[in-house]
Amino acid sequence: MTADAVPKLAQCAAAKAIAEWGRPTADITHLVFSTYSACQAPTADLRLATLLGLRPTVSRTMLSLHGCYGGGRALSLAKELAENNRGARVLVACSEMTLVCFGAPDGGNIVGHALFGDGAGAVVIGAGPFLDGERRPIFEMVSATQTTIPRTEHALGMRVSGGGVDFHLAIQVPTLVGQNVEQCLLDAFRSAIVDDDDGGAAPPPSPCSGNGNGRWNDLFWAVHPGGRPILDNINKVLMLEPEKLAASRHVLREYGNMSGATIVFVLDELRRGRSPLPEWGALLAFGPGITIEAMVLRCPLHKSSAN
């Protein structure tokens, strides 16, 4: 069932993203599709390309079974594709049907049922130059890192069984994420380089200079809401003001944890916020491994960077 439904759900999100982007579907050069809810060949990215009518030469990449960090990985990969292929426009689609998947009848998936929801998100990623009629970027991805916490392979995962998907989530996951998240962020900021006004390269303001304390509050935050204790621990470790994680908490409350698709909902929520975002931001996503995706974001439309 999910083999059909996952690409169809993605189609709804992708059609909206392409319409907002403002260019013809045929101008999409690459597709990155992330899901762990559909496991078949031909893969769901091909089905989505057909449903959308993407051109036959579109370069497709399927990210399967990455779980909740799949959205972060898909965005990071799209950034690399766009920067290394002049004129590339990369459609990123993340689609998950978790509730159907977690179907084991023995009650063993109760945590999965409490936590997860279904959903799809899509965005179009490109590097300059801008095309006629193309919407200007809302977020710029400046740098990205992926970290695997050593010796945590068994902390979360899933296995397909006769009754559906057996999902395993160790109770220690929020603590492990909390203990490792600041180092991942520092690494991401250390690797960030941006073009300065003179056409050279310069690093963004570094939260490291304040040893993390307080400086994290200068950023906007797109955090995968893996669960309430995950957000609470990140809030505590980074000493964030409560409203910094408001977009993540809103998405968790309204939609649940939609695995890889969730981060797109958080970015959408952030851009719709009533008050203007700070210029710099951070994105975090977590999943099996335990893998942490961290990314430095920038709002190109922010007033100090818009001139």
Ligand X SMILES: CC(C)(COP(=O)(O)OP(=O)(O)OC[C@H]1O[C@@H](n2cnc3c(N)ncnc32)[C@H](O)[C@@H]1OP(=O)(O)O)[C@@H](O)C(=O)NCCC(=O)NCCSC(=O)/C=C/c1ccc(O)cc1
Kindly list the catalytic residues: 68
Q: How many residues bind ligand X (CB under 6 A)?
A: 23
Please give the Cα distance from 30 to 81 (Å, whole number): 8
Please say which residue, 67 or 207, places its beta carbon nearer to ligand X. Answer: 67
Report, in Å, the least distance between residue 290 CB and ligand X: 8
**The two three-digit tokens of residue 277, written as one number:** 């975002």
Provide, rounded to whole angstroms, the least separation between the CB of residue 72 and ligand X: 11
Near ligand X in 212-251, by CB under 6 A: 226-230
Stretch that binds ligand X, among 168-176, 179-187, 206-214, 242-250 (CB under 6 A): 168-176
Q: Choose between 102 and 220: whose C-beta lies nearer to ligand X.
A: 102
Are 85 and 30 contacting, i.e. CB atoms less than 8 angstroms apart? yes
**Which pair of tokens denotes residue 149?**
């916490």
Whether 69 and 96 have beta carbons less than 8 Å apart is answered as no
Interaction mask 49-88, ligand X, x per CB under 6 A: ------------------xx--------------------
Position closest to ligand X via CB: 227
Give the C-alpha separation, 194 to 299, whole Å: 12
Give the C-alpha separation, 215 to 34, whole Å.
33
Per-residue binding string, ligand X, 25-44, x by CB under 6 A, is: -----------x--------
Confirm if 35 and 158 have CB atoms less than 8 A apart.
no
Give the per-residue contact string, 267-286, with ligand X (x = CB under 6 A; - = no). -------------------x
Query: In angstroms, rounded to a whole number, what is the distance separating the alpha carbons of residues 112 and 192?
Result: 35
Q: Which is nearer to ligand X, 1 or 201 (CB)?
A: 1
Site string for ligand X, 103-122 (x = CB under 6 A): --------x--xx-------
Amino acid at 113: H
Residue 61 one-letter amino acid: T
Tokens read off for 65: 């079974």
Phi, psi of 191 (to 5 degrees): -90, 5
- Binding residues (CB under 6 A) for ligand X: these are 36, 67-68, 111, 114-115, 156-158, 169, 171, 173-174, 226-230, 257, 259, 286-288
